[in-house]
Amino acid sequence: MNDLLQFAVIGFSTGAVYAVLGASLVSIYVATGVINFAQGSVALWAVWQVAGLRTNGVLVLPVGSVQLGSGPMDVWPAVLIGAASGLVWSLLAHLLVFRPLRRAPELGQVVASVGVMLFIQALIPLRFNAKALGTEPSSLIPLPTLTSKVFTLGGATIAVSNLILAAAAIGIALALAGYFRFTRMGVATRAGAEDEQALRLMGYSPDRLAAFMWGTTGFVSGLIVILAAPAIGGLDPTSYMLYVVPALAVALVGRLTSIGVACGAGLALGSVQQILLFLTTKSWWPSWAQAGVGDAVPFVIVVVALFLLGRGIPERGARDAGAQAPVQVPRLRPLWTAAPVAGTAVAIVLTTGQWRFSLVMSIILTLIAASVVLLTGYLGQISLTTMAFAGAAGFALSKLTTNVGVPFPLSMLLAALTATALGIVVGVPALRIRGAQLAVATIAAALAIESFVFNNPAMTPYTGNLIADPSLFGFSLAVREGTDLITLRFSFMVLVIVAVLLIAVTRLLSGATGRAFLAVRSNERAAAAAGVNVPAVKLLGFALASFLAGIGGCLIGYSRGQLSAASFTVLVGLAVLATTYVGDITRISGAILAGIAGPLGLLYLVFTQTIDLGHYYTLIVAAAMLLRVVVFSPHRGAVPEWLLVRRARRSPAQPPAAAHAKEPADVR
Amino acid sequence: MSGDPNTLLLTRDISVQYGGVRANDEVCIEVGAAEIVGLIGPNGAGKTTFVDAVTGFAPHTGTIELDGVRLDSVPAHRRRRLGLARTWQSGELFTDLTVAENLAVSVDPPGLRGLVADLGRRRKRADEDIQEALSLVGLEAMAGRRPDELSLGRQKLAGVARALVGSTRVLLLDEPAAGLDTEESAEFGHELRRIAASGPGVLLIDHDMTLVLDVCDRVYVMDFGKIIASGAPSDVSSDAQVIAAYLGSPVTP
Ligand SMILES: Nc1ncnc2c1ncn2[C@@H]1O[C@H](COP(=O)(O)OP(=O)(O)OP(=O)(O)O)[C@@H](O)[C@H]1O
Ligand SMILES: [Mg+2]
């Protein structure tokens, strides 16, 4: 019993982080309607900022760095500056990204916040380098900020710092909730989320109120993570960034409206995870479930909360999907299909080694991006699970080929069908939730799959998850032969499989299936009234998309000879979404561009081999994604709209109708 | 009330509760084959709610029968496939599809069979059905256009065509003429007569009294979720209760 108490209190450290990030997410949602996936990344910068200051007094900036004082900085000034850096990042994100996008469709907003998340995440290792810090970044640890006192209570050893963290989280949540409930500005902010015009009549600028909220949440998120970092340990960028997933889970438990519930749920989740961690060490706990339970819990919470929250068919007056990127229904033209396939075949023959390998990776990524086009571009379901489906298939392929010995084409088919089954399960929440909330559910699913399956030692033998080379009728299709890094035969096999599947996808999207997808994307109620079985169509979309991703995952697996968990992380998944969005998420040709630009594809090799920009790859992809959504948006983003308004003002004779309806009131 | 062999749609005691609002209160309505029935009432009376309930978009109590088949626990898309089609007060076309493709969604069911059909031989799209439905509302020339290229009135008509295509038995039209001018509205009345003459029953909701009183065989009047009067158009238009209900609400076009 006292063990349980002890672990429950230890859990307050991560719990406080979930609580404050969750409360921040709710606050931003209430004020602006944005679900900010970058909340964890903003806090991550703050943690590194403090680490830099307390190591030798350097203030690392996005460009350059400043030496403050001669040695390590004291605790509290460093903490304050660190939290302030969270404020600045959050405010910048608001001004440069979210404010221009405040009328954009949800997909645009999700893509933007994922872009901000990837951008900060990629910038940190680049900026906090040995040169700026004066020491190896890997040697840094978060130095303690709070007291190290402990006391015992009923046999349990309790660290005072954990109680302070919980109290801080509760205090922050109370302050945020109080702001919305009791201050005039807070009440106005809530009102403004529903009716900006009314807010202006009351004499408030919706923008300033939103900016205040972004700044405040950036500050408190930074602060709590800085305080908790020594207890939760390490400075690993990815794990901090992903704290946003449990935080999103608790924000949803609070129905994205209750800060108090989000805070309570956050603290409870932290405790439950620690207790589970403790229980997994017991002998009676099944060994296969020792890893990853901590990540599975948020997923279960998200799914249950969203399912209870959601509605089968959106109500009358429910928030519309908004203007979406227009879609051109594809037409299969023999020449336009044959030419790129032939060109790629020639390129395969002409290249060798690394270049051919990257080319083949690009072909595979095209297939995976096509699955994103189908599910997100056409059907409008924002899914961040694509790479997890691919990885799950690769994982199944390894088991099927090495443990069971299933022969080649069948093994790949069965593995892809495993991913399909998983896709249908992950698609079930989509029956009742939509838009950004679905993105939350799917990223939680991706994280759960990653840690429960790929990174679960119980499911991976010491030798790794080996994948037997494919062969057909005794004819080897192995990727390697002698010193050849990648054989012609394997490359052609990939090309044929991908080309056939892409043609099939094009046929589907240009037929009744594509029409039904687009109908569901643009209006679920009207689709149902037109006789479309909306739930079935959504599950069909998830099934097809996960099948395509699954084949892609198998091909990646074959190309490595084993399941490389690193190829299928949540981060890679986000990068695939990013490149597909940049390429054009509503077209198969966009998938091809995404394939070329995707992780480890051709563009990546060009970066590393010719201009030595490999380190900057993710940063560049994230920046491209942000530019694409904010400036060159397919649904006509802020800047083109702004230009239209300006042009309309100059020649008031023909005001463009759309520009008038969407005219941002603060343009002067 | 029932027992008329011509009756296609029969609702009994349809009630819908929205929070504290009883948006429909024991509504009983009958629509016969080839008949145009009007449903009128002031703003907020519950007309759209009734259509929502009948077509499966609002949780309701009471029973709905289409040609003797109980529909009240059937999901919305099945009701459409069984021949109970509706339009929306606000158009609600699929913005990414052309007008003809909008109609095609109602004709070709997606699903596993559709998947195979898409992959293999092109299925013969029911082009004739689509053309016929479009010509019934006078939009043949607009088949290849996108909804946003059409005036609001024409978008509504395209919605009517989408509801009409396929084997529609009863058509529920929620203010289909709201975007049309007087002339177009009269033209639409003729089209409606032609549509009904070809078989389906029509329930017409509209605030345009001239249209409703002209084309309808019978009219129901709804106020505060209840049917307060019904009968031939001439009787209803002189009913004191009906006049009171309309005068008690903001003037409607
Ligand atoms: N989804 C909903 N949730 C709560 N109340 C609703 C909902 N839909 C409609 N109502 C309420 O039900 C009542 C009936 O509305 P309804 O839209 O059916 O009226 P109507 O007769 O179609 O009006 P109009 O002529 O303006 O179209 C109104 O009081 C409305 O506010
Ligand atoms: Mg209505």
pLDDT digits (tens, 9 = 90+) for B11-26: 999 999 998 889 999 9
> Are the C-beta atoms of B169 and B34 separated by less than 8 Å?
no
Do A391 and A514 reside in the same domain of the chain? Answer: yes
- Using the atom order of ligand 1, give the atom closest to the CA of residue B45: 21
pLDDT above 50: residue A653: no
Question: Where is pLDDT greater, at A49 or A189?
Answer: A49
pLDDT of residue A331: 67
Q: Among A277-281, A607-611, B99-103, whose mean pLDDT is lowest?
A: A607-611
Do A188 and A47 reside in the same domain of the chain? Answer: yes
Listed in sequence order, the residues at least 6 apart from A333 whose beta carbon sits closer than 8 Å to its beta carbon are: none
Across chain A, mean pLDDT equals 85
Q: How far apart are CA A536 and CA A178, in angstroms?
A: 44
Do A344 and A269 reside in the same domain of the chain? Answer: no
Q: Which domain holds residue A8?
A: 2-279
Contacts of A529 in chain B (CB under 8 A): 55, 57, 76-77, 80, 85-86, 88, 92, 163
> Are the C-beta atoms of A477 and A408 separated by less than 8 Å?
yes
Nearest CA in chain A to B162: A530
Annotate A143-179 with DSSP letters as a single string: PP-S---EEEETTEEEEHHHHHHHHHHHHHHHHHHHH
The pLDDT of B30-48, averaged and rounded, is 93
Contacts of B77 in chain A (CB under 8 A): 528-534
Question: Where is pLDDT greater, at B138 or A610?
Answer: B138
**ipTM exceeds 0.85:** yes
> Are the C-beta atoms of B194 and B239 separated by less than 8 Å?
no
The pLDDT of B31-39, averaged and rounded, is 94
Nearest to A525 among B57, B101, B106 (CB): B57
pLDDT of residue A299: 78
Do B210 and B101 reside in the same domain of the chain? Answer: no
Last residue of one domain, picked from the residues A567, A584, A610: A567
Do A234 and A380 reside in the same domain of the chain? Answer: no
Q: Is residue B43 within 6 Å of ligand 1 at its C-beta?
A: yes
Q: Among A5-14, A111-120, A185-194, A498-507, whose mean pLDDT is lowest?
A: A185-194
Do B41 and B154 reside in the same domain of the chain? Answer: no
- Using the atom order of ligand 1, give the atom closest to the CA of residue B50: 18
pLDDT above 60: residue A619: yes
Nearest CA in chain B to A543: B112
Residue B208 lies in a domain: yes
DSSP alpha helix (H) spans, A233-333 = 237-241, 244-253, 259-279, 293-309
How does DSSP classify residue A142?
Answer: P
Do A264 and A344 reside in the same domain of the chain? Answer: no
Q: Is residue B253 within 6 Å of ligand 1 at its C-beta?
A: no
Alpha carbon of B192 to ligand 2 centroid (Å):
20
Binning pLDDT at 50, 70 and 90, where does residue A57 land? confident
Do A379 and A462 reside in the same domain of the chain? Answer: yes
In Å, what is the CA distance from A69 to each residue of A47, A58, A59, A143, B163?
19, 8, 10, 18, 75
Residue A131 lies in a domain: yes
How many CB contacts within 8 angstroms connect chain A with chain B? 121
Alpha carbon of B17 to ligand 1 centroid (Å):
11
Residue A650 lies in a domain: no
Which B residues in the span 77-116 are in contact with A, Cβ-Cβ below 8 Å?
Answer: 77-78, 80-81, 85-86, 88, 92-97, 101-102, 104-106, 108-112, 114-115
Do B251 and B171 reside in the same domain of the chain? Answer: yes
Residue B89 lies in a domain: no
Nearest CA in chain B to A314: B57
pLDDT of residue A635: 54
Do A468 and A560 reside in the same domain of the chain? Answer: yes
Residue B107 lies in a domain: yes
Residue A514 lies in a domain: yes
Question: Where is pLDDT greater, at A238 or A192?
Answer: A238
Residue A605 lies in a domain: no
pLDDT above 70: residue A661: no
Binning pLDDT at 50, 70 and 90, where does residue A222 land? very high
pLDDT of residue A329: 64
Nearest CA in chain B to A537: B111
Across chain B, mean pLDDT equals 87
Q: Among A222-226, A251-255, A267-271, B51-55, whose mean pLDDT is lowest?
A: A251-255
Interface probe, candidates B95, B162, B170, chain A, greatest A C-beta count within 10 A: B95
Do B197 and B77 reside in the same domain of the chain? Answer: yes
Do B140 and B172 reside in the same domain of the chain? Answer: no
Do A492 and A350 reside in the same domain of the chain? Answer: yes
Do B38 and B161 reside in the same domain of the chain? Answer: no
Binning pLDDT at 50, 70 and 90, where does residue A637 land? very low
Any A CB within 8 A of B144 CB: no
Residue A444 lies in a domain: yes
End-to-end CA distance of chain B: 33
Residue nearest to atom 31 of ligand 1 (CA): B44
Q: Is residue B237 within 6 Å of ligand 1 at its C-beta?
A: no
pLDDT of residue B122: 60
Counting the structural domains of chain B, the total is: 2
The pLDDT of B158-180, averaged and rounded, is 91
The pLDDT of B237-251, averaged and rounded, is 66
Q: How far apart are CA A658 and CA B109, in angstroms?
A: 34
Annotate A405-464 with DSSP letters as a single string: ---HHHHHHHHHHHHHHHHHHHHGGGGT--HHHHHHHHHHHHHHHIIIIIT-GGGS-TT-
Do B251 and B173 reside in the same domain of the chain? Answer: yes
The pLDDT of A86-105, averaged and rounded, is 91
Do A256 and A138 reside in the same domain of the chain? Answer: yes
Contacts of B160 in chain A (CB under 8 A): none
Beta bridge partners of B223: B226
Give tens-digit pLDDT for A395-451. Answer: 999 999 888 888 888 999 999 999 999 999 999 888 888 888 889 889 989 988 888
Q: Note the maximum CA span of chain A.
A: 81
Nearest to A518 among B86, B96, B123 (CB): B96
Q: E strands along chain B, which residues?
A: 7-18, 21-32, 36-40, 61-66, 69-70, 84-86, 170-174, 201-205, 218-223, 226-231
Last residue of one domain, picked from the residues A567, A587, A619: A567
pTM of the predicted protein model: 0.89
Do A125 and A230 reside in the same domain of the chain? Answer: yes
Last residue of one domain, picked from the residues B120, B140, B166: B166
Q: What is the CATH number of the domain that holds A167?
A: 1.10.3470
Q: How far is CA B85 from the centre of its chain?
A: 6
Interchain contact, B76 vs A516, CB within 8 Å: no
Interchain contact, A316 vs B52, CB within 8 Å: yes
Q: How far apart are CA A426 and CA A405, in angstroms?
A: 28
pLDDT of residue A652: 41
Alpha carbon of B94 to ligand 2 centroid (Å):
20
Q: Among A237-241, A341-345, A557-561, B15-19, whose mean pLDDT is lowest?
A: A237-241
Interchain contact, A531 vs B115, CB within 8 Å: no
Burial class (CB in 10 A: 0-12, 13-18, 19+), A95: middle
Residue B91 lies in a domain: no
Give tens-digit pLDDT for A286-337. Answer: 877 777 777 788 778 877 877 777 666 655 544 444 556 666 666 667 777 7
Last residue of one domain, picked from the residues B138, B166, B194: B166
Q: Among A115-124, A147-156, A588-597, B88-97, whose mean pLDDT is lowest?
A: A147-156
Binning pLDDT at 50, 70 and 90, where does residue A667 land? very low
Ligand nearest to the CA of B44: 1
Contacts of B110 in chain A (CB under 8 A): 512-513, 515-517, 532-533, 536-537, 540
Interchain contact, A537 vs B110, CB within 8 Å: yes
Residue A239 lies in a domain: yes
Here the tokens at position A464 are 């790794």
Do B183 and B133 reside in the same domain of the chain? Answer: no
Residue A609 lies in a domain: no
Nearest to A428 by CA among A387, A377, A385: A385
pLDDT of residue A295: 78
Q: Is residue B44 within 6 Å of ligand 1 at its C-beta?
A: yes
Sign of the torsion formed by the C-alpha atoms of B97, B100, B106 and B109: negative
Do A120 and A245 reside in the same domain of the chain? Answer: yes
Ligand nearest to the CA of B174: 2
Alpha carbon of B55 to ligand 2 centroid (Å):
14
Nearest to A36 by CA among A276, A344, A254, A243: A243
Counting the structural domains of chain A, the total is: 2
Ligand nearest to the CA of B20: 1
Residue A331 lies in a domain: no
Interface probe, candidates B96, B99, B118, chain A, greatest A C-beta count within 10 A: B96
Q: Which domain holds residue B187?
A: 1-83+167-253
Report the percent of chain A where pLDDT is more than 90: 41
Interchain contact, A540 vs B108, CB within 8 Å: no
Nearest to B114 among A326, A512, A523 (CB): A512
User: Min CA distance, A377 vs chain B (Å)?
Assistant: 12
Last residue of one domain, picked from the residues A235, A253, A279: A279
pLDDT of residue A453: 84
Q: How far apart are CA A217 and CA A323, in angstroms?
A: 29
Q: How far apart are CA A14 and CA A191, in angstroms?
A: 33
Nearest CA in chain A to B113: A513
pLDDT of residue A1: 62
Do B184 and B73 reside in the same domain of the chain? Answer: yes
pLDDT of residue B123: 56
Ligand nearest to the CA of B224: 1
Any A CB within 8 A of B166 CB: yes
Do B158 and B183 reside in the same domain of the chain? Answer: no
User: Min CA distance, A25 vs chain B (Å)?
Assistant: 29
pLDDT of residue A390: 95
Binning pLDDT at 50, 70 and 90, where does residue A148 land? confident
Last residue of one domain, picked from the residues B166, B196, B224: B166
pLDDT above 50: residue A101: yes
Q: Phi and psi dihedrals of A402, rounded to 5?
A: -90, -40
Alpha carbon of B44 to ligand 1 centroid (Å):
5
pLDDT of residue B251: 41
Give tens-digit pLDDT for B209-235. Answer: 889 989 999 999 999 999 998 999 888
User: Min CA distance, A545 vs chain B (Å)?
Assistant: 14
Pairing between strand B61-66 and B7-18? antiparallel
Do B100 and B225 reside in the same domain of the chain? Answer: no
pLDDT of residue A406: 84
Interchain contact, A529 vs B57, CB within 8 Å: yes
Residue nearest to atom 9 of ligand 1 (CA): B49
pLDDT of residue A201: 77
pLDDT of residue B247: 57
pLDDT above 90: residue A540: yes
Q: Phi and psi dihedrals of B26, rounded to 5?
A: 50, 60
pLDDT of residue A465: 81
Do B145 and B184 reside in the same domain of the chain? Answer: no
Here the tokens at position A153 are 């209570």
Q: Is residue B23 within 6 Å of ligand 1 at its C-beta?
A: yes
Question: Where is pLDDT greater, at A385 or A305?
Answer: A385
User: Min CA distance, B125 vs chain A (Å)?
Assistant: 9
Interchain contact, B88 vs A526, CB within 8 Å: yes
pLDDT above 80: residue A343: yes
Interchain contact, A507 vs B93, CB within 8 Å: no
> Are the C-beta atoms of A582 and A597 separated by less than 8 Å?
yes
- Using the atom order of ligand 1, give the atom closest to the CA of residue B222: 21
Q: How many residues does chain A have?
A: 668
Q: What is the CATH number of the domain that holds B172?
A: 3.40.50.300
Nearest to A513 among B85, B88, B118 (CB): B118
pLDDT of residue A646: 53
Do A111 and A9 reside in the same domain of the chain? Answer: yes
Q: Is residue B252 within 6 Å of ligand 1 at its C-beta?
A: no
- Using the atom order of ligand 1, give the atom closest to the CA of residue B49: 18
Count of Cβ atoms closer than 10 Å to residue A537 Cβ: 25
Residue B88 lies in a domain: no
